[in-house]
Structure 1
Amino acid sequence: MDAAQIEQTVETLGFEVVQMERGGGRRRPLLRLRIDRPGVAPGRSGVTVEDCAAVSRELRARLAGANGAEGDWVLEVSSPGVDRPLVKAADYARFAGSRVRVKGYAPLAEQGRRLDGTLLGLVPGPAAAFTLEVDGDRVEIPLEAVASARLVYDWDSAESGDGDRGER
C-alpha cells in the first residue's frame, strides 16, 4: 500500500493521518501512524484506544492483502497526543488561537531557533506562512523555515478544570 491508499483507508474510518512514518527492513517493515479526528478542538481528545485498534485492524487486513503475510508488518497506530504536531498548512489554520512551540532550521523572525507563542493562523495569499504572537509582538514565519511545530498543552488549566481532563 502506498501513502495515499493508507490515508484514504484512515479517512474512510473517520480519521485523518497526522503523521506517517515508514521504517524497518524488507523482512519486517514498520508503519507508524498518528491519527486524529478532524474538527476536534485543541486540548480535546478526538481519538480513543478503541479508535486506534479499529484503524489498526483495518490497515493490518489491507497490508496483509498487499504484502501476503499479516505477521510481517509492525504496525503502530496512536493519537497525536496533547502536544500534537502541526504538519500540514491546514493545521496552522485549524489550531489558530492555540499556544504552540516552533523550532526553525535557522533563527525565526530574528528571534531565535525556538519560539513559543500564540498561533494566529495562516497568512492569506500565496505565501505559505503563519503568524505567531510572541511576547506581544506579531511575527510572520514561512512554513519552509519550520523544522517542527507542536501544540503546547496548558497543564495548569487542565488541573483547574478548564481543559481536557483526559476524557476519552
Structure 2
Amino acid sequence: MSFKTADLLDDNESKLRDESVRVVTPMFHPYGGQSTFSGEIVTLKVFEDNSLVRAALAEDGEGKVLVIDGGGSLRCALVGDQLAILAHQKRWKGIVVYGCIRDSHDIGEIKIGVRALATHPLKSIKKGVGERDLPVSFGGVTFRPGDWIYVDDDGLVVSDQPLT
C-alpha cells in the first residue's frame, strides 16, 4: 500500500474530530531501511528489558507493527540489529519504540520500518518483565492492539480502523 500521512489526514478530516484518527507528537527518528510502513498494531509495555520484544518479534508479524512503550527511557536500547533482522524474517512491517535502539547503521540496511526516540549503545536487561496486548499511551496518543498505524517521513498516524 502506497500512502502519505498528510493525504490520509486530508481524506479523513472528520475522523480527526471524533478522535478515531490521531496524530502522534513529532518526537521519533527514522532508523530502518523502510521509511514508509503501516500495519495492525501489537503493543508491549516494558522498561529497560527487551525479553518480551524478542518473544513478540519471533512470532509471525505479517501485516503488523510492534509498538513498544519503553517508558521513554534513554538509558539502554530495546531493539538492536539482531531483533530487526528477526522482525524482517518474520515479516513484521515495522517497530515503533518509545525508547532507544542500537546498531542504527546496520538497522538502516534492513528493509523494515523502525522509529525510536534515540540511539544508545547499551543493551537492555533480560528478566522477562513487561506486559503485552494492552493500551499504551505516549506522544499524546493511546495505541490499542488492533488499531492501525501509518508511518512516513511526515509522521505517525493512528486509526481505529484501516484507512483508505
TM-score under structure 1 length normalisation: 0.23
Choose 1 or 2 for highest CA Rg. 1
TM-score under structure 2 length normalisation: 0.23
Greater per-residue helix proportion: 1
Give the structure, 1 or 2, with the largest relative contact order (CA under 8 Å, sep 6 or more). Answer: 2
